[in-house]
Amino acid sequence: MSVEPDDHGLGRSRGGLTSKVHLAVTASMHVLAVIVTAGQRGDAPQFLPLMQRIRVGRPAGGRPRTRPDHVLADRAYSSRAIRSDLRRRGIAHTIPEKQDQAGHRLRRGSAGGRPPSFDAERYKARHKVECRIGLLKQARGVATRHDKLACRYEATIQVTLIRQYL
């Protein structure tokens, strides 16, 4: 985290002051990128910054990979901007369409376009992100967040990820 946010990654939500941890995870449950935001912040605006943080080193050296082969995401990331960005970068994706978006598309008739493709079998692998978040929250410092500063909380997450990896 380069600059400490004014809200320190804390925000009012239904449960009081909370934080959200956004993760990009591989199929083998290795974390590629982490972003900490305030609890009331939406998920979709954090998608593009999260994708920009992905850096996977190559074994033979050279420029790191920044483009995943496929992206699995839940309904919160179903927006025209995210889909068009993934399409522009040539990244295949499996993101379910929200009910209201499907209704708007159907209401427009033939001008609404065709529905985005969705592979239900492939989407079943998305549980790995939820499992990784659960594994991450086994660490008391991550689950309870007693740190005031967001940079310190993100460092706690990074240390926890390293400890769990080793």
- pLDDT score, position 4: 65
pTM of the model: 0.80
Question: Residue 2: what pLDDT?
Answer: 60
Structure token pair of residue 79: 């927006």
pLDDT for position 53: 92
Q: Which two tokens stand for residue 35?
A: 């972003």
Kindly give the parts of the chain with pLDDT less than 50. Answer: none
